[in-house]
Amino acid sequence: MKSLHIVLLVLVACICSCSRRTADSDVYRIAAILPISGPNAAQGIGMMNSCKSAVRDINESGNLGNAKLELVELDDESKPDAAVRAAERAGQDPKVLAATAHWNSGPALATDPIFHRWGLANLVPAAIDSKITLEQPGDEIFRIDPSDLIILRYAAAFAGSVRGWKRVFVIDDNTLYGKDLASTFVADYSGLGGKVVGQDSIQVGDRDFSALLTRIKSVKPECIFFGGVVAEAALIKRQMRTVGLQADLLSLTGIFTKSFIEAAGPAAEGAYSATVVPPTARLPGGQQFLRSYARGRFNHPSEAWGIYGYASVQVLAEAIRRALPHPTRRAVINELKKGEFETVLGKMRFDDHGQTTLVTVFVYQVRNGEWVPLFQADGKGSLMAFKE
Amino acid sequence: MVQQAFNAVVLSSIYAIVALGFTLYFGTMNLVNFAHGDCCTLAAFLALLALPACSAVFGRESWVALGIAGLVAVLATIFLAALSERWLFRRLRGRAPLEGLIVSLGLAMLIREAILHFYPNGGNPQGFPDPFHNRSAEVLGVSVSVIQVMTVASALFAALAFYWVVQRTRFGRLMRALSQDPEAAQMVGLPVDLTILGSFALGGACAGVGGILSGALYGSIRFDMGISLGLKGFVCAVIGGLDNPAGAFLGAIILAGLETAIVGAAPGGSAYRDVAAYTVLLFLMIFRPTGLLSAIKVHA
């Protein structure tokens, strides 16, 4: 009697495990590793919710047949060590076929080798450091937004060709990031025939730039290019007015926030930002994205980068679909390398380095206390007036 | 040249008000209070918190609303500084100075992190209202804004007020007595506790005024602005003499003048602004460790 019980128990366990395996085999997972806590949590949560919306839409559409898509939500806290732990967890889960990871460049650079070791595709949704894709150890890393090199090429084109500034002064914030931006901009802008009339660095945390701006005033630049982020940019723009320096200010995504306008006050008017953040509501696919996001009834807005999260999941899901009926991590990478993908941002392919061919670079200006899109990249190195 | 001199005067005014606080803490309690810079930040954020309520009563961004919000913030900072003395630093009296310094560093971090995590959107810079809307005019070829003039005037007022308090009031005499010989002051029955509490309250007032002026002058504040502000104020106090309020002003003029000269005169000099300032401090510590105007005697 006792042996009969044991046989029955083993039989039940086998049936359970078999049925579980059958059910599980129809589930494919995408890992989203984003800063849902820490200093950039607002952006990370908006992007995570956007990824969830995309997964829900894809499952409802039935594009994957009987298979279901699942999102594995992981937090990188904007820190490289937390990012590495999260990437390891994604890599260890055999059901995870691809990942979309990191808002910050530091964490993205740290996890390049992890994704390579696990042979797992990572479609970077936001980090812009060009080294993430250009210096990756294998072929697993892709990026859906333009890199800093691409943005700077258009920023230089804006300064030299669109606005026709002949004299630009370049300031950086003495960080690796700021110095990289400044040196690349100087090379690109000089290549277009512009003259850099001076270069200087400030210290992050300093608040008084009046002495520097007074000296800059004497060389009469038409524009100041700033390689840095919002806190110092706002102080510089405000103090430019205080010392009577009549010049424009151009910077990149680092200043493209409401905080810049609030911190610089009325002096923010006229500042330019070249950025990859799209005017979501005014893009062709933007309305579709926003409607989808609204259906999720999240208690947090999608934020500026949400559309990139949604588009990333669209691309990865399509790559998995094309790799059916037996999608593997390698098959997904191969599909990403060769195919064209339709997303809410537009159609895109990926080049030999994994960089998207869709150039979503926009130039905004502060007008009446709002960032207003003026120009967009044409994908060929020039800018054209922004079209709704 | 004249513009740069004016820039230096404005910068030295902010430095001086902050440095004054350091001399008060050190003069009466031998304490290097590194939480002082973050108290400046706290005061500025408290003013921002008080502003909506004041605006509702006195009109949005009106003079009165801004003034009362500032006053509330300064009073709150005075109260908190006094509280820190009563509940924290008093317990450390008579112990090694290093203990007070470490506790003040902990307090600084606590204030900074509290603002970062509990103030809405605390990680980002916050716009700070300037009652004069950054209005400026050219005076003899020098671009001068109203808030700059107010900042310099506040520093001058603080200097005169301090001179009066220290030289002409009973509290000033008590402070001086405590500064010169704390043990003797205690033995003859002077109200030591009350004097130190009063010094902390005055230090809190310096932090309050310094933080709010810095916010209004530069138009924005950030949770970590106290690090740089506190460090610069401390350097000024050390240059002038940590126990001498007049030294704080001298130190501020020297540091601001030096920084402005380096940034203003040397192309690419802005990157070396802090390096140059701290190099001077290093040399000063070697050749005159007690500061330029200090009465402290260095014992062998």
Identify each DSSP E strand in B37-156 by its residue range: 126-127, 136-139, 142-145
Q: Which two tokens stand for residue B293?
A: 């105007």
Residue A18 in any domain: the answer is no
Compute chain B's Rg from CA coordinates. 19
User: Which residues of B are less than 8 Å from A242 in CB distance?
Assistant: 134, 136, 143, 145, 148
Which pLDDT belongs to residue B214? 93
Residue A119: pLDDT band with limits 50, 70, 90: very high
A129 and A154 together in one domain: no
Residues 6+ apart with CB under 8 A from B108: B34, B35, B37, B38, B226, B230
Which pLDDT belongs to residue B158? 85
Inform me whether the pLDDT recorded for A81 exceeds 60: yes
Euclidean distance between CA atoms A238 and A233, whole angstroms: 9
Q: Which two tokens stand for residue B106?
A: 């902990």
* Residues A338-350 pLDDT 10s: 989 999 999 999 9
Residue A354 in any domain: the answer is no
* Calculated CA dihedral for residues A94, A96, A97, A100, nearest 10 degrees: -150
A209 and A297 together in one domain: no
Which pLDDT belongs to residue A41? 81
Residue A193 in any domain: the answer is yes
Which pLDDT belongs to residue A235? 93
Residue A7: pLDDT band with limits 50, 70, 90: low
Which pLDDT belongs to residue A18? 43
Which pLDDT belongs to residue B264? 87
A257 and A379 together in one domain: yes
Q: Where is pLDDT greater, at B182 or A184? A: A184
A181 and A328 together in one domain: no
Do the chains contact at A262 and B123, CB–CB below 8 Å? no
Which pLDDT belongs to residue A6? 57
Which pLDDT belongs to residue A121? 97
Nearest by CB: B11 against A208, A265, A266: A208
Inform me whether the pLDDT recorded for A22 exceeds 60: no
* Residues B188-228 pLDDT 10s: 888 888 999 999 999 999 999 999 999 989 988 988 899 98
Euclidean distance between CA atoms A274 and A194, whole angstroms: 18
The pLDDT mean for chain A works out to 89
Tell me what percent of the residues of chain B surpass a pLDDT of 70: 97
Residue A133 in any domain: the answer is yes
Residue A381 in any domain: the answer is yes
Closest-CA distance, A145 to chain B, in angstroms, reads 24
Q: A12-16, A24-28, A310-314: lowest mean pLDDT where?
A: A12-16
Inform me whether the pLDDT recorded for A315 exceeds 60: yes
Which pLDDT belongs to residue B298? 46
Answer whether B10 touches A (CB < 8 Å).
yes
Inform me whether the pLDDT recorded for A21 exceeds 50: no
A202 and A316 together in one domain: no
Inform me whether the pLDDT recorded for B183 exceeds 50: yes
* pTM confidence score: 0.82
Nearest by CB: A244 against B10, B143, B267: B143
The pairs formed by B81-84 with CB atoms below 8 angstroms and a separation of 24 or more are B81/B39, B81/B200, B81/B201, B81/B203, B81/B204, B81/B207, B82/B197, B82/B200, B82/B201, B82/B204, B84/B35, B84/B200
- Domain boundaries of chain B, sorted by first residue: 14-227
User: Which residues of A are less than 8 Å from B222 in CB distance?
Assistant: 231
In the predicted model, what is the mean pLDDT of residues A290-309?
Answer: 91
Which pLDDT belongs to residue A122? 97
In the predicted model, what is the mean pLDDT of residues A250-268?
Answer: 89
In the predicted model, what is the mean pLDDT of residues A352-364?
Answer: 94
Nearest by CB: A267 against B134, B227, B228: B134
Provide the domain limits for residue A228.
Answer: 149-275+361-385
User: Which residues of B are less than 8 Å from A265 in CB distance?
Assistant: 127, 130, 133-134, 219
The pLDDT mean for chain B works out to 87
B contact test, residue of A214, A237, A261, A366 with most B CBs within 10 A: A214
Residue A2: pLDDT band with limits 50, 70, 90: low
Which pLDDT belongs to residue B132? 78
Inform me whether the pLDDT recorded for A17 exceeds 50: no
B contact test, residue of A207, A224, A237 with most B CBs within 10 A: A207
Q: Which residue has the tokens 């690349």?
A: A184
Closest-CA distance, A257 to chain B, in angstroms, reads 10
Inform me whether the pLDDT recorded for A265 exceeds 60: yes
A134 and A168 together in one domain: no
Residue A1 in any domain: the answer is no
In the predicted model, what is the mean pLDDT of residues B124-150?
Answer: 84
In the predicted model, what is the mean pLDDT of residues A28-55?
Answer: 91
A298 and A165 together in one domain: no
Q: Could you tell me the CATH number of the domain that includes residue A137?
A: 3.40.50.2300
Inform me whether the pLDDT recorded for A15 exceeds 70: no
Residue B295: pLDDT band with limits 50, 70, 90: low
Inform me whether the pLDDT recorded for A11 exceeds 60: no
Helices (H), A282-377: 286-295, 306-322, 329-338
Euclidean distance between CA atoms A71 and A232, whole angstroms: 38
Inform me whether the pLDDT recorded for B300 exceeds 50: no
Q: Which residue has the tokens 């105007």?
A: B293
A9-35: b (≥16 Cβ within 10 Å) or e: eeeeeeeeeeeeeeeeeeebbbbbbbb
Euclidean distance between CA atoms B36 and B54, whole angstroms: 26
A231-240: b (≥16 Cβ within 10 Å) or e: bbbbbbbbbb
Residue A254: pLDDT band with limits 50, 70, 90: confident
Nearest by CB: B222 against A198, A231, A266: A231
Answer whether B41 touches A (CB < 8 Å).
no
In the predicted model, what is the mean pLDDT of residues A51-58?
Answer: 97
Q: Where is pLDDT greater, at B186 or A305? A: A305
A165 and A257 together in one domain: yes
Helices (H), chain A: 2-24, 41-61, 80-92, 105-118, 131-134, 148-157, 176-191, 210-218, 230-242, 258-264, 286-295, 306-322, 329-338
Which pLDDT belongs to residue A85? 97
Inform me whether the pLDDT recorded for B54 exceeds 90: no
User: SS3 letters for A279-296?
Assistant: CHHHCCCHHHHHHHHHHC
Residue A180 in any domain: the answer is yes
Residue A5: pLDDT band with limits 50, 70, 90: low
Residue A183: pLDDT band with limits 50, 70, 90: very high
* Residues B6-30 pLDDT 10s: 999 999 999 999 999 999 888 887 8
* Residues B155-180 pLDDT 10s: 899 889 888 888 889 988 888 888 88
In the predicted model, what is the mean pLDDT of residues B68-73?
Answer: 93
Residue A25: pLDDT band with limits 50, 70, 90: low
Which pLDDT belongs to residue B28? 80
Do the chains contact at B134 and A206, CB–CB below 8 Å? no
A157 and A288 together in one domain: no
Residue A10 in any domain: the answer is no
Q: Where is pLDDT greater, at B243 or A375? A: A375
A93 and A230 together in one domain: no
Q: A238-252, B86-100, B254-268: lowest mean pLDDT where?
A: B86-100
User: Which residues of B are less than 8 Å from A241 in CB distance?
Assistant: 134, 136
Which pLDDT belongs to residue B233? 93
Establish, for the pair of chains A and B, how many residue pairs have beta carbons separated by less than 8 Å: 116
Do the chains contact at A214 and B130, CB–CB below 8 Å? no
Query: Is the preceding peptide bond at A325 cis, omega within 30 degrees of 0?
Result: yes
Task: Report strand pairing: A341-343 vs A248-251.
Answer: unpaired
Do the chains contact at A206 and B269, CB–CB below 8 Å? no
Answer whether B2 touches A (CB < 8 Å).
no
The SS3 assignment for B145 reads strand
Q: Which residue has the tokens 């002096």?
A: A267
Query: Max alpha carbon distance in chain A (Å)?
Result: 100
Which pLDDT belongs to residue A20? 43
Do the chains contact at A264 and B127, CB–CB below 8 Å? yes
User: Which residues of B are less than 8 Å from A257 in CB distance?
Assistant: 124
Q: How many domains does chain A have?
A: 2
Which pLDDT belongs to residue B290? 78
In the predicted model, what is the mean pLDDT of residues A46-69?
Answer: 94
Which pLDDT belongs to residue A195? 93
Which pLDDT belongs to residue A379? 79
A contact test, residue of B61, B150, B263 with most A CBs within 10 A: B263
Do the chains contact at A262 and B145, CB–CB below 8 Å? no
